Chain A
Amino acid sequence: MSLDDPDGDLVRRVGEGDAHAAEALVARKLPRMTALAQRLLGDRTEAEDVVQEVFLRVWKSAGAWRPGAARFDTWMHRVAFNLCTDRLRKRREVPLPETWDAPDPQPLADAEISAEQQSAAVGRALAALAPRQREAIVLTYYQELPNREAAALMGIGVDALESLLARGRRALKARLEGADE
């Protein structure tokens, strides 16, 4: 296992059929994968389906996992990211529900609101972003991937990632503050 892969030893033990290692891997990665899928898809149920599929692939691949160019966490992100983008692509082929991309009717600055309401408002603003901007923000800010990894996952260069991030941040602020973009 690669020494600089913090998940390497755990994955090796999972591949050997160590049930405790599998539970430890789930404890470490399940919240991270769930957050990624939920923020990309904006739907809890779909996110849970994706997460289950990601872990099925982990269980199948753990025994054959070898250190390579990517860390295991990056590989998991790639699997989850591809599953999410596949679903989003299929979603675009059918009419979206009326609530999808609905603008936030209550700008944050208008009133003092609870943390829960604020979270929900940011969630709606994220869902309303252009998909590529949302992907860039989710990977960079919430998943905390290094810029090169995020760019590679999205199949773009770092310059393009920075452009998507800057535009996404501006759009998010404009939406949440009720200002024109």
Chain B
Amino acid sequence: MNEMDLNRFETLVAAYGASPVRWPEEERAAAEAFARQDPRAAALLSEADSIDALLFAHRVAEPSRTLRAMVIEGAPGKRRLAGRAKLWWSGFALALAGAAGILAGSAATAALEPISANVQMYEHEDVPALDYSAEEAAQ
């Protein structure tokens, strides 16, 4: 729309305020020309400018560091790193538990069979194998 009259200019300023930056792009040039040429425009712009000033007095606090950290924590790259770290710790914990079990088993065997010098390694079938691909897919 390139035609501009007082009625449209008034509607435009009442809705979008006094700054041409916010006026619809397709009407901006015509509205600016109208403002330069029509003496009635000044009063409308002054009124709108006072409301703009009120509006832009409102401030919102910056996001907290905690929120920023929580949001970033969920990001794809970060999640993968966190997932790998978790898997590493899970594997380490399982290995530790397995080793403890073996030691305990050996100690018990040694107590029952103090003469035997052979240390037998048992397979722990009740310890599930780590399925990294499944865990990563679930991340």
Contact = CB atoms under 8 A, between A and B. Distances in A.
Residue from A62, A122, A144 having most chain B Cβ neighbours under 10 A: A122
Residue from B11, B12, B58, B79 having most chain A Cβ neighbours under 10 A: B58
A23 interface: yes
B54 A172 contact: yes
A162 B77 contact: no
A161 B12 CA distance: 11
B134 to A, nearest CB: 19
A34 B67 CA distance: 10
Given A122-B58, A172-B55, A173-B50, A26 B14 contact: no
Contacts of A55: 71, 74-75
B11 A162 contact: yes
Contacts of A38: 60
A43 to B, nearest CB: 12
Interface in A136-169: 137, 140-142, 144, 146-147, 158, 161-163, 165-166, 169
Interface stretch (A14-22, A65-73, A80-88): A14-22
Given A35-B60, A51-B67, A17 B76 contact: yes
Contact of A137 (B55, B63, B79): B55
Interface residues of A, number: 52
B57 A118 contact: yes
Contacts of B59: 115-116, 119
B15 interface: yes
Interface in B2-45: 11-12, 14-17, 22, 24-25
B60 A52 contact: no
Interface residues of B, number: 36
A62 to B, nearest CB: 7
B108 interface: no
A22 B55 contact: no
Interface string A7-45: 000000011011111110010001100110011000010
A22 B15 contact: no
Nearest to A30: B63
A87 to B, nearest CB: 17
A21 B78 CA distance: 11
20 contacts: A17-B77, A19-B78, A22-B72, A26-B72, A30-B67, A38-B60, A44-B61, A55-B71, A59-B74, A122-B58, A123-B58, A141-B56, A144-B22, A146-B24, A158-B24, A163-B15, A169-B51, A169-B55, A172-B55, A173-B54
Q: Which 6 A-B pairs have the closest CB atoms?
A: A19-B77, A22-B75, A162-B15, A122-B58, A165-B15, A166-B14
Given A23-B72, A59-B79, 19 more contacts: A17-B80, A22-B76, A22-B78, A26-B71, A30-B67, A31-B63, A34-B67, A51-B63, A62-B76, A108-B54, A122-B55, A126-B58, A140-B16, A141-B17, A141-B55, A162-B14, A162-B16, A173-B54, A176-B54
